[in-house]
Structure formats: C-alpha cells, structure tokens
Structure 1
Amino acid sequence: MPQPLDYLISDVARSHGSVLVGGGLTCLTGAEAELREILHTRALRTLGLRALAPTVLACTAPRDAVLAELRKAGFAPMPAAADGTVELPVIALPAVGPPAGPRDAEPAADPGEAADTICRADAAEVAARLLSGSTPDRSATYRELERLGPHLDSAELALLADGLDHRHAVFVTYRNAAGNRTARGIVPLQLYGPWLRSFCLLRRAERDFTVTGIEAVSPVG
C-alpha cells in the first residue's frame, strides 16, 4: 500500500467515532449530590438514567414520564425549556372559601388536572417587581407574615406576601410537625391563623402549611 494512502487511512481511523451525536435525550441538571442520589434510587432504574457529567443525567424516557417518576420517588423536580428556563403549569386554582381547619395531611380534590399551558418564571422580572415601589410599603399581608414568621428575612417575606396577594408561585423549604423537611413549589391561596392554605405544585392539590414551618422562600426559576 502506498505510504500516503496508509497515512490517510490511519488519520481517518484515529478520528472516526471520536464524536458521538445522539438524539431524543431527556436531561436532568442539578446539584451533584442530589443527582447521585437519583441515579442510585432503585425505583428509578427503569428510566435508564446515565451520568453525562457530575451535574448532568440523561435518559431516553419522555420528559413528562421522568417528572412523574421522580415525583413518585419523593423528589421535587421542575420542567425546563430547551434553553434551561424553568416552566410552570398554569393551573386553574379553586375558589377560596372559609377555611375548614388544617388539612396538611389530607389531600383535597385536584382542581388542575387540565394544566397543559406553560408559562415561564423569569427571576429577573420577579426581582424587578420586588424592587419596585409595590413591596417596600409592607402590605397588611407582609406585616401578618412578618408576625407569624419572624425567622424569615425581608426578601423571603416579600416573596411570600407577593405570592399570596397575587397568586404567584414561590418555592419553599418546609419542615412539618414530625420534623420532615421538603422543598416544593406552591401557589399561596389564603392566610388564616397560623396556617397558609396553598396549592402544592408537587402534589397538585391543596395543602395547608404553618408559616412557622416555612424555613426558606425563593422565586421559582
């Protein structure tokens, strides 16, 4: 074989297959520790997850199926668009009537089964709204939340008050009476006594939370 041809074949052999192009992947991104836990959760093995990087997992299962399985396993994932922007379902929230008492452990009827419309939570827009003239006046809702939750800082109280006044979703870290901590997106509906009635985006049903049990509040997205 002529030497130039031998060199050409060798060059092609070295580069062939060094770049792989796949398709139809659902990607999960997040903290390395949480993704490692997801990867080793027995109940999620049917998804065929594999690690592409310490903070990236991927599988060929549809996104909605992955979200459903993760939630079933006790995780609190959020859907994201192709550009990484968090997406929130627009939910038809129930009318708020007189409170019947705490229902933290009891699921209510799901008012939002047909929630396919998607909106995007823009963190910059949330920050701009909070820094505008609408929140520094400290509404009655803000003052009541401040009384019930003095452990929350002013930004967290403003987010929670804004969510309650305008039915905007917020992300909360919550510890219940048994000491169990969860993190989830909620749409605050009504404040009564020490309780905050909310629509839980994780359980897709109404849940009641004590304000004292809310350990942290952050914008969704």
Structure 2
Amino acid sequence: MRSTAFDIARMSVEDRIGDTWTHGAEAWLELFQASWSESARFCTALAWTARQAGNSALLHLTPEHVLRTTGMPVTTRTRLHLYAVTLRYDFRCQSLQGLFERHPSPLKELDPFSRSLYAFALLGQSDPAGLDFISPLLDESSEDPKVAHALLHGLWLGDDLPQQPERILDLVARPVFAAQMDAIALFRKASALRRLHRHDEALTALDNARECLPLDADASIHVDLTRERALITGARDQATG
C-alpha cells in the first residue's frame, strides 16, 4: 500500500535525523510524486521528530531555499512544508506570516496545507483575518486532518480572538475530529471549556485526551495535559471557594 511505503520512507529519514535529513525527505517525496496531503502528513511527522532531536529543519533550510520556486514542484513544496511547519511548532508566527507574504506565488495558488499554516500565523497573533480562512480551507481540503489541526492550533493560541473558546468547540465538533478520539483536539477542547467555566466538562475532555494518547507519546504532551489539569482545577476551586 502507498501509505505503508510512505511510513517506510519516513522511518528511513528518521534513522538519519542527525545528518542533513531534509535532503532525504525531498528525495522520497519527489520519488513518490506526493500529493499535498501526503506531503503534509510526511513533513509534519518528520519536522516534529527532528525538532525534538535538536536537529530542526530550520538548521538546514533558509527562507531563500524555501522561496526559490524554480526546479521540481514537489521538492519546492516539501521545503515549504518542512520549514513552515517547524516555524509553527516554534510559535514563530511573525516569521511564518512574513515567509508567506514574501513567497513569489500568490497565496491562493498554494496548497491548502500551506495556506492553513498562513492562517495559523494570523490566528496565533489574534488577527481576526485568520478566521476567514477556517471554513473555506476545511471545505476545500475535505477536512484534511493536518489542515484542521493547523487551524485548531492557531485558534487555541490566539487568546484575544473574538469568541475564541466557542470557535474551538465548533471546530472540534466537526467530523474530522468527531469521528474518532484525538488527544490533541481533546486537550484544546478542555482549554476552551475551562475558559467558559465549564470545569467538569473540561476535566472529562482532559481525561479522555490522556486515555487516547499513543503509548509512545512525547513526554511534553503529558506535561501539557498535567499543566492544563492544574489550570482547570485551580479555576474550579476559585469559582467555588
């Protein structure tokens, strides 16, 4: 199966994550002639692994590499995905917004995942302009999970967005998340419920998030869940004290 081939390719790159691993990612996706959604899945996983290993894509790629659009289209998109999603993981919203605003291709011509990363940059800075991207991107991408997570991440980060918690709850209720348990989506749901002072529901969402974490989940996720639980219980105690 094609998905299995991508998994094998990703593991092959991860085995060399200490080297200039981005070249391997580019080569595999070019060989497969990956679609934008396949690239999104491949690049998000690799970018996170490399970042956790202290060998971020930002150490191997520069904006000049990413903004150079001559050459093979799949490789050009791979570089954009790797670099931009790493900026997202680092919460470098201003740099991410600037990257897309400097890109030689008009934003509307970029793939939906790339545009969701631009929307993340706006949302993460509490810019209401980012809200206009949410429904169109979800519809165009047929609720692609990586697009949905980028948008949800931006909503969660944008504390000063109008009706932020309600918008988070609306998004996690959509089929892309409602169809199956998703630890990260449930974590963000718990945060939204806490902001709405729905503390018991928030704790339930957080417990569900912990239960559906994969056994090899990164330790930082457990730390985030523990921190959120402390915020929820503290807010609940203050409200009832």
If the TM-score is normalised by the length of the shorter chain, which range does it land in? Answer: under 0.3
The structure showing larger relative contact order (alpha-carbon pairs under 8 Å, at least 6 residues apart) is: 1
Q: What is the TM-score of this pair, normalised by structure 1?
A: 0.24
Which has the larger Rg? 1
More strand by share: 1
More helix by share: 2
